Amino acid sequence: MVKGKTIGEFVEHYRKNKGYSQRELAQMLGYSSGQMVSNIERGEDRSPVIFCGKLMKFLTTMEQNHLQELISDAVMTKTYKKISEGK
């Protein structure tokens, strides 16, 4: 099972577990370079929804469920932060 507490950690663990470089995973998902994967793994991309959608087709059901939980948690955290800031 792929582990991770954040979307970035999940992606990095999945990629390394499968033996892919950042560039290889990016190309599998239709990106021209590994920069997108690097950004996701480091938490620099704040909207990885399209990326995660593309990644889903390569995941097992358990992996899909875990990633969906991480996405849900990230959305809830972002929403709570905006509410607490009055935005």
Q: Is residue 63 part of a domain?
A: yes
How far is residue 30's CA from residue 24's CA, in Å, rounded to a whole number?
10
pLDDT above 80 for 47: no
Q: Is residue 11 part of a domain?
A: yes
For residue 11, the enclosing domain spans: 7-72
How far is residue 40's CA from residue 38's CA, in Å, rounded to a whole number?
6
Domains held by the chain: number: 1
In this prediction, residue 83 carries a pLDDT of 78
How far is residue 22's CA from residue 14's CA, in Å, rounded to a whole number?
11
Percent of the chain with pLDDT over 90: 54
* DSSP single-letter state for residue 1: -
pLDDT above 90 for 3: no
- Predicted TM-score (pTM) of the model is 0.79
- What's 20's domain CATH number? 1.10.260.40
